[in-house]
Amino acid sequence: MPKKDGQGDCAACGGTCCRYITIEIEKPKHRVDVDEVRWFLAHEHIEVFIEDKRWYVQVHNRCKHLTDDNRCAIYDDRFDVCRQHDPEECEASDGEPDAIEFHTTEEFDAYRARKKAEKKAKKRKKKEGKK
């Protein structure tokens, strides 16, 4: 756990969680939803990811309260979301993430094409099994 002065694991990792915000979104099911995800990915400093079957948009943008030495300038009055963040579950130290990440529209389109092909193959197998 970080010390009360804001030092500890958080300072060592470079303040990773203070350099982005993440917003959960609905899984894109319709053309308009897919287009919206593609639009997100057309912007700089944005990625979309899936983790535990939940979809998120991540905006890479440094918190204005993060100091140059990766400490929180408002540590004693920090936001609840910051207080709830457990350094033991820090994404900077937990190894390879289990998330599927998209940084470009091309990556997202390739993922969708793979998923569509998998679904088609599964349907075909099921149909062949009935014969």
pLDDT of residue 15: 87
Q: Using one digit for the tens of pLDDT, what is the confidence trace for 44-98?
A: 999 999 999 999 999 999 999 999 988 899 999 999 999 998 877 777 765 556 7
pLDDT of residue 77: 96
Instruction: Tell me which amino acid residue 102 is.
Output: F
Model confidence pTM above 0.75: yes
Q: In what order do the strands lie in the sheet with 20-25?
A: 20-25, 54-60, 46-51, 100-102
Cβ contact 76:20 at 8 Å? no
Indicate the pLDDT class of residue 6, thresholds 50, 70 and 90. Answer: very low
Indicate the pLDDT class of residue 3, thresholds 50, 70 and 90. Answer: very low
Q: Read out DSSP for 61-127?
A: ---TTB-TTS-BTTGGG--HHHHH--GGG-TTTS-S---EEESSHHHHHHHHHHHHHHHHHHHHHHH
